[in-house]
Amino acid sequence: MNAADTAWIIVATALVLFMTLPGLALFYGGLVRARNVLSVFMQCYAIACLMSVLWLAFGYSIAFGSGSSGIWGGPDKMFLSGVTADSLSGTLPEVLFFAFQMTFAIITPALIVGAYVERVGFGFVLVFSGLWMLLCYAPVVHWIWGGGMMADGGIFGEIGVRDFAGGIVVHETAGLAALIIAVFLGPRKNRTTPPHNPGYVFIGAAMLWVGWFGFNGGSQLAADGGAAMALTVTHISAATASLTWALWEKIKYGKASMVGLVTGTIAGLASITPASGFVGPVEALVIGAVAGILCQEAVNLVRNLLKIDDTLDVFAVHGVGGIFGTIMIAVFGQGTWIAQLGGLVVVGIFTAVVTVVLVKLVAAITPLRVDLETETNGLDISVHGERAYDMTS
């Protein structure tokens, strides 16, 4: 065990959890109507709780068990069987590696929340998120990070898929799942209401930016120069994408919005994530500069041309950003084209199939969408019996 590595990953684990709670919850919560903000908080918080239990029970073993099939890790580490405080994963206590990866298993299904806010059944959220994490996310983790079929020496040859912190594993899978659920749900009855609290959006985005240092820097799994470089390029990409998003808004619409500025931050963070362990500051500058414009145009494509109500633009920002960053690894010569593109295609098809099957299956058990009266009155009071703002008190 290396004490410095261990100390850093303990901090990184806390930072990644901080991304979901409270970062993502505030970012998403501020973007919805006032009558739905508590439902967003509830969904993010409940997903964090449920994924933690499921990751302990089955997810970690599926992703990082010692199975040799290349498809899944097997059952040998269910409930952390055989893992003690003295067990090691590289230079880290294995239980810490488990906890760090658990925070990734929390935020990935939580990202999908942005696609279905304001109109989804709470029971559907929990059942779908749990099954999707186990049957879609965890196997993909094994394929790329767990020594499975897409790692070095796998189906793409000696050099496997390069995905440092989750461009494919996290952002492509969550983005595609979000788009598919949005299609099944159909649009909200009222799509024109502006964000009820842009201040929440700003605070949440700022928390995500800080937490992302643990997400990307922690993925080095060591306290060394590689972690420092990953942290640095993450910051540069985020800053650059924020500026290009705002500039592109100014050019197109005559005004740069605060919500747009911080959405550009998230686009830059998602785009640098897969490449953060393989590129330097100049490459990060390029990735961020393109991401701010590319992801904004993807928002327009999904909303206005495809007419899909991916409410908080999960696919356009996270999905497109993660895919773009994965491709840029090959552009900069840090991975092979066949592995990077092949990984995107295989995982994309797998994610689409699993998501469609799970949506249909879970919708047969618990309602996918709330009724019109519940949607009109808001999920906060109708589903959870609470209001975020009591103006009479």
Report pLDDT digits (tens) over 186-203: 999 988 889 999 999 999
Confidence of residue 68 (pLDDT cuts 50, 70, 90): confident
Residue 390 confidence (pLDDT): 87
Give me the amino acid identity at 136. Answer: C
Average confidence (pLDDT) over 151-162: 96
Whether the full predicted model's pTM is greater than 0.95, yes or no, is yes
pLDDT at 393 over 90: no
**Position 38 pLDDT exceeds 90:** yes
- Predicted confidence (pLDDT) at residue 224 exceeds the cutoff of 90: yes
Residue type, 55: W
Average pLDDT in the chain: 97
Model confidence at 143: pLDDT above 80? yes
Q: How confident is the model at residue 214 (pLDDT cuts 50, 70, 90)?
A: very high
Q: How confident is the model at residue 305 (pLDDT cuts 50, 70, 90)?
A: very high
The residue type of 255 is: K
> What SS3 state is found at 301?
helix
Query: Alpha-carbon distance 393 to 390, whole Å?
Result: 6
CB contact at 8 A, 110 and 204? no
Q: Which pLDDT does position 254 carry in this prediction?
A: 98
Question: What pLDDT is recorded for position 392?
Answer: 80
Helices (H), the chain: 3-18, 25-31, 37-54, 60-64, 94-116, 122-132, 138-144, 173-185, 198-212, 225-253, 258-272, 281-300, 314, 320-331, 337-363, 372-377, 379-383
- CA distances (Å), origin 104, targets 182, 249, 255, 337, 387: 23, 32, 36, 26, 30
Task: State how far the Cα of 208 lies from the Cα of 21, in Å rounded to an integer.
Answer: 10
The token pair that represents 9 in the structure block: 């990953």
Question: 3-class SS at 93?
Answer: strand
Over residues 9-31, the mean pLDDT reads: 98
